[in-house]
Structure 1
């Protein structure tokens, strides 16, 4: 079969070149249509319940993603409260309001919010907190005094230490956040107050990552290609020979990315890594082919005949290693994370395409080389071998020594491997699951710096929302009828028949919404009072009072009980340090009530009646920003929102908040008929991270089972199948065990690597076992077969490990942490996998040769020991 493939490819090589070029060109033309997406929400499908709920909450309370801009002054005795800093803040706020894409009416800044003060008891004044910049220190001090009296702003718009002020910038589209942040920075550059300015927030972190991600891949992929080329040139000493796998890799990368983009998929953080993954993976099989070709070929030999022999000996391991790698990547499609599914699917397609080119394009290319070029290459390699200074000669000596070491110290090696596995298992139990989009940048990146500074000064720049809702509306009409019956009976006893008129009023007022029905009824009763006979007047007034009472009770979050529950939950979360700060309708009502009653702290409380709550809310609606009310309560007052500010966006911290709320509601049950739900980008990040972990575990186990089955089928042996997966098992366990021991968090890049590294790691074992069995079948000698494997096959495995490990090293220079993580882990996994394979497999085979090769092998080993 291998000879047939090689012969066909070399005979029709120009057709192979032409078809490869056409596919690459057509797919390459799709790449300019690229669309980039870094929104972590898209880690969840559009139908995922938590995402649906998050978007519903945003719509219900008119919430938007926000960029946070901070101004910090640590030098002035009054901190931020000095004329120059507040003037800069005012100019900055005015400039931001004019940026396209900013929702100016919802922007929060000292320059855009009200100061509420009592004029006389029952009368309030809503004046702008900072309509104009302060002209002197006294005016700046007055602003400080005013803002410190408003709990909803203190710790949010200004830090409690007085050193920082914040501007919360709501934006229409989070995908525009990088542009908006750039325009904000341009405004900052015109200010000369001497303050520090910082821009952060999850939207700007995500969008900035998208911009820098594209730039990073434009640098890393070519660097990886250049590095791989140089390494292969060092091994094979022939530019024309090395050009072939590089062309193959480029065709694979261009075709795969073009296909992805052409099918309409966006390039997410995961799919952006496809080029850097495929570049080294695409040349892996080529290295085995080139190694076999250079070992077999001699000056003047028939190039095509040699290549046929090479492909015949390698086509099975090439196909099976490609299939196992494909399984590793394709297993990612089992995860519930759409970008990870896309990444896994298209890398799998790229691996299969690279395999096809390895078996067709590579023989065709070498067959097209002039014989003189091949002869010079062979002469150069042989010369270095004779002189004992070539890379291959040194590698040959090292491989032979490795084989001898592994077989002579088999039992100690196996004991060491068992001990390492035990340590690795312990390390795995220490792994912490955690992620945070802001931590996708290095610590010295401006966004990470801004995040650290502002969350040090403020209550928190990360948001989450607790939403309390009446799960079922009471039967308002029935409740009203029950209250109305005693009044109607009293009227009948007094000789008045109001029943029919009452029922007609109800019928005329009825609408689909019970609340609207009550509203219509109250309007009708109010009108009726002008014309009602004097004898009926008291009864109609009493019925109106009952209708108003039922309507008020239906507005659950306009009742003291509803507000008290929220306030107590907030206080518990803040007092126990679970959140930095929280704001809700309860805070707004308490603030307004204080100013309505006395202006003193003792009246910062929730009124005792629904009417008192309604009065506070009605008074607030006379402010410059009455629409802010609907960020905290729905217009039917059946849903209320608690805005949580968190100083950390880590999933672990968000999970602690969720757990804390569950503990609180367990001890203090939600009111009857009230349900609790979550929203906010920090909570959404927690959800997709948890789903990713569960999905990756399923993907890893599924991939492992499929790879094991493939190994059994490939080798037609249960024992050899199990033997093939032992090195990758130890390798993956060691990598993740070390991760747990050193405290590296299990995040998105690390999770993805668990499955895909499985498919890559087994490649070495496949080549080792396949070539070992082939040599044993030919020679009948276990020792000769082992010596053969630690010749050209072991050199090819080592070359592969070096190429693929070093091929990922350009990622270490990235400014983006996920790329650095991928670079370190994949390089480590591949290097360690090769080492474990070349030590573990000969040690196992040496310890129990008869188990794998029969009685003859056992006798041969026993004879060598005597």
Structure 2
């Protein structure tokens, strides 16, 4: 610890403790007051990097074709669906949903025009269409007719006609896309290294604030309308089974999970902290000090997140719990060190004991905090936005935890001054490390052999690691998200949307425009004969290639192929919509003239349902909306995209740059694709930086490599176990290896520091090992047990990745602890990397400032 810093502690903090305390409270209070701006984000945008081209294209498509701003309400009556009573209940439910202030429109089975495919014709269409609520309707016949209309089956009603679904379209803010476009123009200028003017910088700030307000309004609206729908749903529990689904509901419930996890994790860690502290130290004094440090760290960190406008996502929902664990670990080291100083220096003054504790622990704790920061900082090399944000948050949080621990500990120790040493009778729990010392001494080669076998087995298991997991598996089976997604997935056409956008240029090569003018003249004459006048602007436009018989035939081929894929549910497109018209036309494809006439005369409301969501008139571009079955065990997203791409390029001869994939499936799949890359990068960065730090700290390459090996065993063991168990990597488990190494190496630093000191004093490797296990190993043991217990609290989450993260991180920390207390000493005993003469020369330095005896 630098002398100037020791002077500040002695002359200011310890001598003027109440002034220091008041100043500390004022600073913390000022920062913590920003907690009111703390927010959470579960939007699709939080899944990717802000400058990701996939996100930009996703926004472009949503602007052109409409957003995913709708909810699904499934309706499965206790009576038959096609009964008078059930239809009345469905009507009542629809009217209640339509009456909600935030609902723009409601689409249900009641609104669907029905026809008998064997009797209807284009000439008599107005007379042959009927609705399910018309008078004197045969409901059984209506059911048969509905099931014979391909567009309705597995979309409005299930194939067994027992379940129907209501689509609830929510009111949106049309300014969002305009504001976002303006913001992105400014941001792209910065990405291209173009400096913004003062006006543009202020405009960027204003646009961010406006978009933030719009996002908050949408979140409040979703919360309100979802609560209202669930309240309505409750009134039908006696007559029907109803589930709520849709992207807004999933986003809302995930935010609720985040909120719940923050509370549960925080409270759970606090309760564990009290129990562990009370068991280990047997005094409320230490519990009070640790609780104070953890509470202040949590409040301050949340305040900084609010001040910096860093939203917490599902990935970073364990942020507070991790900070509590890390802060607790630091304070436990200080407490254990103070108890030793108090025991070994009975004649020393109270302030001097505190100062000795702070000064002797400052350097090793600074290094351990730095290695933890490196571990979390490595997450920033990921391509996944929430992982990057998580890394930033934890860098800030760990730094804050270190500062608060080393400021708060001396203040609270002075305020709660109490003389007398702690005394307790040591049980088997406290002598556990001594037993590990015996194992390390007597079975050296056996321990080394076990470590080698574990390493080989882990490496083999890591080969089977995968990332292609199902989004539905992120939720427990008793949650509404899971149940609703499963029902919609299996009975009503699939859940996760995948969109295929095909440009006009895909079929331009199929057309020869030699006789273009004459053909257009013929068409115009035919329109005039039918009483349809063409506008000047239409004549100036290029012919719409997709709205020709050739274009529609191509679309039907795409539609047929997409329908044939086992993992796809319902596919909606212009071709699917035209199937109804073709069915009415005696299952005959429409001619070029009929298509042109249809496009001219189609009513606006029908255009909004059949054409606008799937055909862009301005760009002559078509869109296929595929709902993929998340519950299908055969789902392989990469293979699905590859199969579609291969069909379009080889069978239809479309060029690759003429069609594009987008939608939530693409954003999610891009994130999964970057997981393996992120795993390699994060592990590589962590290993490289920590190894460099070890070389600098230990001044020995051999010692640095020996120190890294036990921690790699723990991390690789968990990854190998996940591979053997078939548990895929996800957004959270991807961070386990880097985090566990970053935290576990804290023990390595403390142990090797202490071992060097003991070896210099005793001159014998075996004696130094026993001395370390009787002193420093106990502090490592206490802190690791606390950390393991803290991570285990994550099993209380409703979010399965959090549960896996808690289980496997706890396991990694346990294996790393055992490796540091068995394998590390065995490696030191077998390789003998220290030279006695060198260690004797460094005794003075070790005793002066690098003493790390924590027992």
Please confirm whether the aligned pair reaches a TM-score higher than 0.5, indicating the same fold.
Answer: yes
Change (3 A) 1:88 1:682: farther
Match of 1:764 among 747, 750, 766: 747
Deviations 1:122-160 (A, max 9, x none): 34228886463x778x63223313312321111110011
**Match for 1:189 among 234, 256, 268?**
234
Where does residue 741 of structure 1 map in the other structure? 724
Aligned counterparts of 2:251 and 2:760: Cα–Cα separation in 1: 57
CA distance in 2, matches of 1:524, 1:791: 100
SS at match of 2:661: strand
From 55, 58, 69, give the equivalent of 2:73: 69
| 1:238 CA drift (Å) | 1.9
Does the C-alpha gap of structure 1 residues 708 and 275 become closer, same or farther in structure 2, counting only changes over 3 Å?
same
Is residue 407 of structure 1 aligned with residue 407 of structure 2? no
SS state at 1:272 partner: coil
Aligned match of 1:22: 26
Find the counterpart in structure 2 of residue 50 from structure 1: 54
Does the 8 A contact of 2:648 with 2:654 survive in 1? no
Rounded to whole Å, the distance in 2 between the matches of 1:704 and 1:273 is: 24
Partner Cα distance (1:801, 1:44) in 2:
34
2:454 aligned residue (420, 426, 435): 420
User: Residue 340 of structure 1: CA displacement?
Assistant: 2.4
Number of matched residues?
A: 781
Shift of 1:192: 6.7
The SS at the match of 1:111 is: helix
Is the 8 Å Cα contact of residues 132 and 142 (structure 2) preserved in structure 1?
Answer: no
**Alpha-carbon distance, 1:549 to partner:** 13
Question: For the Cα contact (< 8 Å) 1:252–1:282, is it kept in 2?
Answer: yes
Counterpart contact for 2:472–2:482, Cα < 8 Å = yes
Pairing of 1:512-661 with structure 2 (within 5 A): 554-595=543-584, 597-598=585-586, 603=587, 605-607=588-590, 609-618=591-600, 620-621=602-603, 626-636=608-618, 638-648=620-630, 653-661=636-644
Q: Which moved more, 1:154-163 or 1:138-147?
A: 138-147
- C-alpha distance 477-656 of structure 1, shift in aligned 2 (>3 A): closer
CA deviation map 1:378-432 (0-9, x unaligned): 1xx33x2xxxx335xx345321221121122111111111111111112111112
CA distances 1:190-228 after superposition (whole Å, capped 9, x unpaired): 337722111122331221110232133123202212311
Output aligned runs, 1:3-152, within 5 Å.
5-6=5-6, 8-13=8-13, 14=17, 15-73=19-77, 76=79, 79-104=80-105, 107-115=106-114, 120-125=121-126, 130=131, 132=133, 139-152=138-151
**CA 119–569 in structure 1, closer or farther in 2 if over 3 Å, else same:** closer
Q: Which of the numbers 204, 214, 233 marks the counterpart of 2:259?
A: 214
SS at match of 1:46: coil
Write the deviation string for residues 793-813 of structure 1: whole angstroms up to 9, x where unpaired.
000000011111112233222
Match of 1:713 in 2: 696
CA contact (8 A) 1:586 1:606 kept: no
Q: How do 1:204-283 residues align onto structure 2 when only pairs under 5 Å count?
A: 204-283=249-328
Give the stretch that moved more between structures: 233-242 or 108-117.
108-117
Structure 1's 766 and 423: CA in aligned 2 closer, same or farther, altered over 3 A?
A: same
Unaligned runs of 5+ in 1: 488-517, 531-543, 858-866
Match of 1:358 in 2: 405
For 1:292, the equivalent position in structure 2 comes to 337
1:342 matched residue in structure 2:
389
Match of 1:323 in 2: 370
Larger CA deviation: 743-752 vs 287-296? 287-296
Q: 1:797 aligns with which of 776, 780, 797?
A: 780
Q: 1:171 corresponds to which residue?
A: 170
CA contact (8 A) 1:331 1:699 kept: yes
Q: What is the TM-score of this pair, normalised by structure 2?
A: 0.84
Match of 1:837 in 2: 820
Which residue pairs with 1:512 in the alignment?
Answer: none
Distance 1:440-1:192 versus aligned 2 partners, 3 A rule: closer
Aligned counterparts of 1:269 and 1:671: Cα–Cα separation in 2: 39
Higher mean C-alpha displacement, 715-724 vs 228-237: 228-237
CA distance in 1, matches of 2:803, 2:656: 50
Alpha-carbon distance between aligned partners in 2 of 1:32 and 1:712, rounded to the nearest angstrom: 44
The separation in 1 between residues aligned to 2:831 and 2:691, in whole angstroms, is: 21
Deviation at 1:676, TM superposition (A): 1.1
- Report deviation, 1:677: 0.8
Distance 1:135 1:474, change over 3 A: closer
User: Out of 654, 658, 663, which is 1:680 matched to?
Assistant: 663
Contact 1:715/1:721 (8 A) holds in 2: yes
Equivalent pair of 2:158/2:492 in contact (CA under 8 Å)? yes
CA contact (8 A) 1:224 1:279 kept: yes
Could you tell me which residue of structure 1 aligns to residue 204 of structure 2? none
Question: Over the residues paired in the alignment, what is the CA RMSD in angstroms?
Answer: 3.4
Task: Show structure 2 runs of 5+ residues with no match.
Answer: 173-217, 840-855
Distance change >3 Å, CA 587–CA 364, structure 1 → 2:
closer
Alignment TM-score, normalising by the size of structure 1: 0.83
Q: Structure 1 CA distance, aligned partners of 2:667 and 2:440?
A: 50
Alpha-carbon separation, structure 2, partners of 1:750 and 1:126: 60
Tell me, yes or no, if the aligned pair for 2:497 and 2:628 is still in contact at 8 Å.
yes
Q: 2-side partners of 1:390 and 1:673: how far apart?
A: 72
Give the whole-Å Cα distance in 2 for the aligned partners of 1:667 and 1:589.
Answer: 25
Partner of 2:195: none
More deviation, 405-414/609-618: 609-618
2 CA distance for matches of 1:719 and 1:477?
71
**Pairing 1:464-475 to 2, within 5 Å after superposition:** 464-471=498-505
Distance 1:365 1:203 in 2: 47
Contact 1:739 1:745 in 2 (8 A): yes
In 1: Cα distance, 2:271 partner to 2:231 partner: 38
Partners of 1:475 and 1:201 lie apart in 2 by 39
Distance 2:43 2:751 in 1: 43
